[in-house]
Structure 1
Amino acid sequence: MSSIIPGRAVVTGASSGIGAVYADRLATRGHALLIVARRGDRLDALAARLRAQYGADVTTLVADLETSAGLAEVEAAVGNGQLSILVNNAGAGGLGSLAAVSADALERTIKLNIVALTRLSHAALARFREQGAGTLVNIASVMALAPSPSGAVYSGSKAYVLNFTRSLAFEYADTAVRVQAVMPGPIRTEFFTSQGLSDSIFPDSSFISADQLVDAALAGLDAGETVTIPSLENLATWDTIETARKAFMAEIGSGAVASRYRVG
Structure 2
Amino acid sequence: MVGQAGGDATGVAVVTGASSGIGAVYADRLAARGHDLLLVARRADRLRQLAQELSDRHGVQVQTATADLAEPESLARVEALVRESNAVLLVNNAGAGGLGPTAAISADRVENVVRLNITALSRLSHAVLEGFRSRGAGTLVNIGSIIALSPSPSAAAYSGSKAYVLNFTRSLQAEYADTAIRIQLVQPGPIRTEFFTAAGVSESVFPEDSYLTAEQLVDAALAGLDAGELVTTPTVAETGIWEALEAARLAFMEAARSGQVAERYRVGEESLA
Q: TM-score range by the shorter chain?
A: over 0.9
Q: In angstroms, what is the RMSD of aligned CA positions? A: 0.9
Q: Would you say the 8 A contact 1:4–1:84 is kept in 2?
A: no
Q: Would you say the 8 A contact 2:8–2:88 is kept in 1?
A: no
Tell me, yes or no, if structure 1 residue 180 matches structure 2 residue 184: yes
2:33 corresponds, among 29, 37, 50, to 29
1:4 corresponds, among 3, 9, 14, to 9
Greater relative contact order: 1 or 2 (C-alpha under 8 angstroms, separation 6 or more)? 2
**Percent of aligned pairs with the same amino acid:** 63
The alpha carbon displacement at 1:172 in A equals 0.4
- Counterpart in the other structure of 2:117: 113
Tell me, yes or no, if structure 1 residue 57 matches structure 2 residue 57: no
- Counterpart in the other structure of 2:205: 201
Tell me, yes or no, if structure 1 residue 100 matches structure 2 residue 101: no
- Taking the TM superposition and a 5 Å limit, the aligned residue runs for 1:75-94 are 75-94=79-98
User: Which residue identity does 2:168 align to in structure 1?
Assistant: F
User: Which residue identity does 2:135 align to in structure 1?
Assistant: Q
Tell me, yes or no, if structure 1 residue 20 matches structure 2 residue 24: yes
Q: Would you say the 8 A contact 1:11–1:87 is kept in 2?
A: yes
Query: Taking structure 2 as the reference length, what is the TM-score of the superposition?
Result: 0.95
The alpha carbon displacement at 1:81 in A equals 3.7
Instruction: Report how many aligned residue pairs link the two structures.
Output: 263
- Counterpart in the other structure of 1:218: 222
Query: Taking structure 1 as the reference length, what is the TM-score of the superposition?
Result: 0.98
C-alpha distance after superposition, 1:5-37 (max 9, x if no partner): 5x3100000000000000000001000100000
The alpha carbon displacement at 1:3 in A equals 4.8
- Counterpart in the other structure of 1:244: 248
Instruction: Decide which structure has the larger Cα Rg and report it.
Output: 2
Distance across 1 between alignment mates of 2:111 and 2:7: 39
Specify every segment of 5 or more residues in structure 1 that has no aligned partner in the other structure, as ranges: none
The alpha carbon displacement at 1:93 in A equals 0.2
User: Which residue identity does 2:143 align to in structure 1?
Assistant: I
Specify every segment of 5 or more residues in structure 2 that has no aligned partner in the other structure, as ranges: 1-5, 269-273
Q: Would you say the 8 A contact 1:82–1:131 is kept in 2?
A: no
Q: Secondary structure at the match of 1:101?
A: coil
User: Which residue identity does 1:222 align to in structure 2?
Assistant: D
- Counterpart in the other structure of 1:134: 138
Distance across 2 between alignment mates of 1:3 and 1:74: 21
The alpha carbon displacement at 1:59 in A equals 0.7
